[in-house]
Amino acid sequence: MEPISGEPVKADGVYRNEWGRDERLEQGDVFPADPMLGTTEWKQVELEFDNHHEGRTDPRLIPHDDDDDPEAHMQHPRRHKGSNKER
C-alpha cells in the first residue's frame, strides 16, 4: 500500500501523487495533501542518494596504454604473458 498524505516520508526522493504532481521530499517530512484532491496516495518515482565519492574514476578502471597487446587478452588467465602494470 502506498503512503498517504499525513504520513512521514521514509526515504529522500521525488514522489508523485494520484494526479501526477511531483514533489521532492526528504526523510522525516510529512506527505502533503493535494490542494484540489485533499488526502492522496504518493508513489516514489525517483530515489535520491549520496554515494560519497569525489567524482573521479577509480584508477583500476582506466585503460592502460599497453592494453592493446593481443596476447594479453587471451581468454585463459594462464596464457597471459604478464601483468600490464608491471611494465
Residue 82 pLDDT > 90, yes or no? Answer: no
Instruction: Spell out the alpha helix ranges (H) of the chain.
Output: none
User: Number of C-alpha atoms within 13 angstroms, CB side, residue 10?
Assistant: 7
> Residue 43 belongs to what H/E stretch?
strand 42-47
- Whether the per-residue pLDDT at 66 is higher than 90: the answer is no
Q: Are 42 and 3 in contact (CB under 8 A)?
A: yes
Q: What is the pLDDT of residues 30-55, one digit of tens each?
A: 999 988 888 999 999 988 876 656 77
At 83 the three-state DSSP class reads coil
CA angle, corner 28, sides to 33 and 44, nearest 5? 60
Return the closest-CA partner of residue 34 out of 8, 52, 59, 15: 15
- Can you give the pTM of this predicted structure? 0.56
